[in-house]
Amino acid sequence: MKLRLFSALLLAGLLTAAAAFARQPVDELYDKAEYRIAMRDSVKLYTAVYTPKTDAKAPILIFRTPYGCAPYGPGEFPRGFGSGYMRSYIDRGYIVVMQDVRGRFMSEGDFVHVRPAGYGETDETTDSYDTVEWLVKHVPHNNGRVGFAGSSYPGFYAMMGGLCTHPAVKAVSPQAPVTDWF
């Protein structure tokens, strides 16, 4: 009986602590850094990196998008980080990366709708590879494991990230990706 009571109290305490952590504003838990990562052809892609304010090693989760990574600027966090599925990544301590794809918003280069793999010397797979390579080498406290995720158009970019063949890419979640528009 005492063991059950102890277990119940311990569980209640852990749930209370987890709920308090989940209510903390993201800017109290995370830092934001903005980079312009050079691709193999010298085109620079705007990349926002959100890192936990801890020294614990964490995986990197990349979201590449043609829709913009607003809000731009130091200390600015997307509203979606505070709730929903993005909050679950924050609560688990992932390093979250948002990137404007080539030719969109704050990134340089020419945008091509649903740029297929093998389209010229650079494409979405080479941009994904170069991004992963830079992040693994330069973002502190990453554990060397990277994933891509996205839905619809960003799902296409997640799929291209899965095709980039970088050895650090361990997970890909392309949800309802757009496909060949040609």
55 C-beta neighbours (distance < 10 Å), count: 7
| Contact assessment for residue 111 and residue 65, using Cβ atoms and an 8 Å cutoff | no
Give dist(CA 33, CA 64) in Å, integer: 16
Give dist(CA 47, CA 33) in Å, integer: 8
Compute the Cα dihedral for 45, 66, 95, 172 and give only its sign. Answer: negative
Compute the Cα dihedral for 133, 138, 142, 143 and give only its sign. Answer: positive
Tens-digit pLDDT profile for residues 93-121: 999 999 999 999 999 999 998 888 888 89
Give dist(CA 162, CA 174) in Å, integer: 9
**Is pLDDT of 7 > 70?**
no
Specify the pLDDT at position 118. Answer: 86
Confidence of residue 20 (pLDDT cuts 50, 70, 90): very low
Return the closest-CA partner of residue 67 out of 105, 113, 112. 105
